[in-house]
Amino acid sequence: MNEETPKPTPPKAFGVGQGMDYGEQADVHQVHAAVQREKREPRVGAEPLSIWLIAVYGLAVFFGGAYLGRYSGNFSGEALDPYGGEPQAMKKASGPQGAQQVAELSPRDRGKKIFSANCQTCHQANGLGVAGQYPPLAGSEFTTGGSRRPAMIVLKGLQGPVTVKGQKFGTAVMQPWDKTLTDQKIADVLTYERSEWGNSASAVTVEQIAALRKELASHPESYTEPDILGVPADAELPGGAPPGGAPPSRMMTTADEQACHRTTDAEEYRQCAIELRSARKLANNCAPCPKKYAAILGSRRK
């Protein structure tokens, strides 16, 4: 029998034909392996930004915004006065020369300007605050009671929550003003708040604020409601409250201004006007002046 001996099949090259489907000429695995080995050409400017650099920039923006929010004073020239000078108002004299005279504002008028520049955004111009966020100052037991509580809050700040007039306000933070406002400005704004929107409480002097600032020099900033409630509601600032009750500016009404106009004598009218203005000005600083002011008005009305 002549049987044909099968010829041996030549060995295939290593890897060739492995993993190939019928009719394919190249191994898919090998083709993909070659692609995976190749890297893209580097391009300038396509490098990924470091996450640490992003974090540093983010922190810089955050702390910069916080600093501006605390110390900007609403970008008001009066709030940022580094010398603590008292604002003055210019008015023209009624004489023939028309010369300008400088009229010193009362503490209450100065306080109104300071309030508008620094406090009005939260507590509003009407003193009613924002429901659920910022407590009112009008009729507030913290504002109209003794002068120590509100002075502590303004100097060192207040961290909520806090209950005012039976309504609870959230965790809004009132910033401390001891590093931003001078003693004079704090005294003026407290005098304004305690005599505006129907409030009737004693004025606050710069000496009282200076004494309290010295007393609280080592105290950490931001009181809480329990801290404030721990102070008696009628507690006054060091040195006592200015006698005479409400600031005299609250006593001046339209009827009072018209008291001098009831006289027909020019010299008497001039003297009356001088006495009234003098009494109103001095009443901010001395104990018997409110009574003197009322006595002058009473004598002129007879």
For 167-227, the DSSP string reads EEE-S-EEPP-TTTS-HHHHHHHHHHHTTSTT-------HHHHHHHHHHTTTSPS-EEHHH
Question: Shortest CA distance to 204 belongs to which of 185, 221, 217?
Answer: 185
pLDDT on residue 158? 87
Secondary structure class of 22 (helix, strand, coil): coil
Question: Shortest CA distance to 194 belongs to which of 245, 119, 232, 129?
Answer: 245
User: Are the C-beta atoms of residues 87 and 78 closer than 8 Å to each other?
Assistant: yes
What is the rounded distance in angstroms from the CA atom of residue 58 to the CA atom of residue 47? 20
What is the rounded distance in angstroms from the CA atom of residue 66 to the CA atom of residue 86? 28
Domain ranges, ordered by start, for the chain: 100-246, 251-301
Secondary structure class of 8 (helix, strand, coil): coil
More confident residue, 185 or 248: 185
Query: What predicted TM-score, i.e. pTM, was given to this entire model?
Result: 0.51
Confidence of residue 251 (pLDDT cuts 50, 70, 90): very low
Q: What DSSP character marks residue 239?
A: T
Secondary structure class of 48 (helix, strand, coil): coil
Range picked from 105-114, 163-172, 217-226 for highest mean pLDDT: 105-114
- Please state, in angstroms and as integers, the Cα–Cα distance from residue 301 to each residue in 165, 172, 218, following that order: 40, 51, 54
Q: Tell me the Ramachandran region of residue 161: left when phi exceeds 0, alpha when psi lies from -120 to 50, beta otherwise.
A: beta
Beta bridge partners of 162: 169
Q: Rounded mean pLDDT of 223-237?
A: 85
pLDDT on residue 93? 46
Q: Distance between alpha carbon 198 and the CA centroid of its chain, in Å?
A: 23
What is the rounded distance in angstroms from the CA atom of residue 213 to the CA atom of residue 225? 20
- What's the CATH fold of domain 100-246? Cytochrome Bc1 Complex; Chain D, domain 2 (1.10.760)
> For the CA atoms of 231, 190, 153, 201, what is the dihedral angle to 10 degrees?
30
pLDDT on residue 57? 93
For 55-70, the DSSP string reads HHHHHHHHHHHHHHHH
Asked if pLDDT for residue 188 goes beyond 50, the answer is yes
User: Are the C-beta atoms of residues 291 and 250 closer than 8 Å to each other?
Assistant: no
For 252, residues 6+ apart whose C-beta sits below 8 A from its C-beta are 280
Task: Mean pLDDT check: name the lowest of 21-25, 31-35, 37-41, 157-161.
Answer: 21-25
Mean pLDDT computed over every residue of the chain: 72
